[in-house]
């Protein structure tokens, strides 16, 4: 007859606390923040914004088309940003606005911000606010939230495995 | 019912694992089977088995291998040269069926039957489900890259590991822990923080 060893509930709770603490470490939150920034950046570069930036779980939709007069301007002075296009809007002329998306970690929260000055003579944040009115892009869609949650779950399961073996 | 049933042609692709049948197939003694049967009928154990199956499928897929351990067929040069590929994958040529990660993120435990000791994993979102179906069956002139499944030995290892963990009290409710630990996340300035209420609120 074997002896069955069972961990106590107290020990189990202690372990849970340690896992949660490590999960909330700056390093892990930075990983999650970088993923969130990448998702907004990639989606916008694809030419997609969000249906309603104020909704807790918006969908994704194509960004409003460029005006013909602005397309003409862009033909004369071609955009220089990465993945830019003369005729299609992906909020990239020089690329400064989207390159400025930065995850900021404070306690247990992650904020995506638009950092620094834009060469259009205003801050990226201010430019973002103006752009957001016509072409909402700066929010996480429902699918992006799910994607981030799934990564968090993976991270948590990794920690559980590490602590419970 | 066989140990593993896969449905993909009609409707969403799902993988159903009969854990009781699996338990009978690993060469355990009658006494061990009797003692483990009530364990593998527990909701937490079936859920953990499902989650481990998902982890393993994704691990295999991310390392570029299909359900039989064979490497995926390379992406076409046209796809690799496309803007969308460059935006999300940069210079990487690794075939891991991951562009944004939406399909991988959608793979979940979709149902659990405690009395039968059965767990089913699959996709919840129609778009992601169709994407997966395309990879599994090969559609729209795409090559077949069947990532959706595990080898019998992998399934057996997962089941036995989970039983051991259950006996050692080492199964944690990850969902519950995540709710406690999830950071607030959102964009600054233009709106309130997009809390994860949308996901956890209900």
Predicted confidence (pLDDT) per residue in B87-112, tens digit? 999 989 999 999 999 999 999 999 99
| pTM of the shown model | 0.90
Query: Is B169 an interface residue toward A (CB < 8 Å)?
Result: yes
Query: Is B179 an interface residue toward A (CB < 8 Å)?
Result: no
Contact B17, B3 (CB under 8 A): yes
Strands (E) across A2-59 are located at 48-50
- Give the mutation candidate from A60, A87, A144, A157 for the B interface (greatest B CB count, under 10 A): A157
Q: Which of B87, B125, B178 sits opposite A46 (nearest CB)?
A: B87
Tell the residue number behind the tokens 């419970």, with chain if given: A164
Q: What was the ipTM of the complex prediction?
A: 0.87
Confidence label for B200 from pLDDT (cuts 50, 70 and 90) = very low
Report the distance separating Cα B195 and Cα B200, nearest Å: 9
Q: Which of A19, A112, A142 sits opposite B198 (nearest CB)?
A: A142
- Give the mutation candidate from A31, A135, A147, A162 for the B interface (greatest B CB count, under 10 A): A147
Q: Is the CA virtual torsion A142, A38, B102, A106 positive or negative?
A: negative
Tens digits of pLDDT across chain A (165 residues) = 444 445 567 777 888 889 999 999 999 999 999 999 999 999 999 999 999 988 888 999 999 999 999 999 999 999 999 999 999 999 999 999 999 999 999 888 899 999 999 888 899 999 999 999 999 999 999 999 999 999 999 999 999 988 876
Q: Look at residue A165 in the predicted model and tell me its pLDDT.
A: 65
Predicted confidence (pLDDT) per residue in B55-66, tens digit? 999 999 999 999
Kindly state the tokens that stand for B58: 């994704």
Report the distance separating Cα B122 and Cα B103, nearest Å: 11
Kindly state the tokens that stand for A89: 């809007």
């Amino acid at each position: 007859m074997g002896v069955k060893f069972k961990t106590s509930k107290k020990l189990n709770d202690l372990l849970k606390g340690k896992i949660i603490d490590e999960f909330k470490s700056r390093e892990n939150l930075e990983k999650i923040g970088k993923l969130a920034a990448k998702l907004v950046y990639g989606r916008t570069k694809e030419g997609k914004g969000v249906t309603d930036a104020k909704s807790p779980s918006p969908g994704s939709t194509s960004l409003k088309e460029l005006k013909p007069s602005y397309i003409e301007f862009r033909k004369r002075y071609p955009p220089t940003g990465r993945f830019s296009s003369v005729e299609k809007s992906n909020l990239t002329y020089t690329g400064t606005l989207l390159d400025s998306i930065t995850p900021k970690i404070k306690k247990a929260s992650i904020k995506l911000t638009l950092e620094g000055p834009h060469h259009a003579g205003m801050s990226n944040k201010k430019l973002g606010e103006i752009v957001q009115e016509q072409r909402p892009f700066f929010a996480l869609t429902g699918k992006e939230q799910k994607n981030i949650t799934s990564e968090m779950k993976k991270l948590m399961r990794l920690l559980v495995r590490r602590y419970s073996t | 019912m066989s140990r593993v049933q896969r449905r993909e042609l009609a409707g969403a692709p799902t993988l159903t694992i009969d854990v009781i049948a699996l338990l009978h197939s690993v060469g355990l003694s009658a006494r061990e089977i009797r003692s483990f049967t009530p364990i593998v009928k527990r909701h937490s154990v079936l859920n953990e088995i499902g989650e481990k199956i998902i982890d393993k499928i994704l691990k295999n897929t991310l390392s570029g291998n299909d359900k039989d351990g064979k490497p995926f067929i390379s992406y076409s040069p046209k796809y690799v040269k496309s803007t969308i590929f460059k935006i999300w994958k940069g210079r990487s040529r690794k075939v891991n069926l991951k562009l944004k990660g939406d399909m991988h993120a959608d793979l979940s435990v979709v149902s659990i039957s405690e009395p039968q000791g059965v767990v089913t994993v699959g996709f919840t979102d129609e778009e992601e489900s169709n994407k997966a179906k395309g990879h599994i069956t090969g559609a729209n002139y795409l090559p077949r890259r069947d990532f959706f499944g595990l080898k019998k030995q992998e399934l057996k290892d997962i089941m036995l590991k989970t039983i051991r963990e259950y006996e050692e009290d080492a199964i944690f409710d990850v969902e519950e822990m995540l709710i406690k630990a999830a950071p607030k996340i959102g964009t600054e300035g233009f709106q309130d923080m997009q809390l994860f209420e949308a996901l956890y609120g209900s």
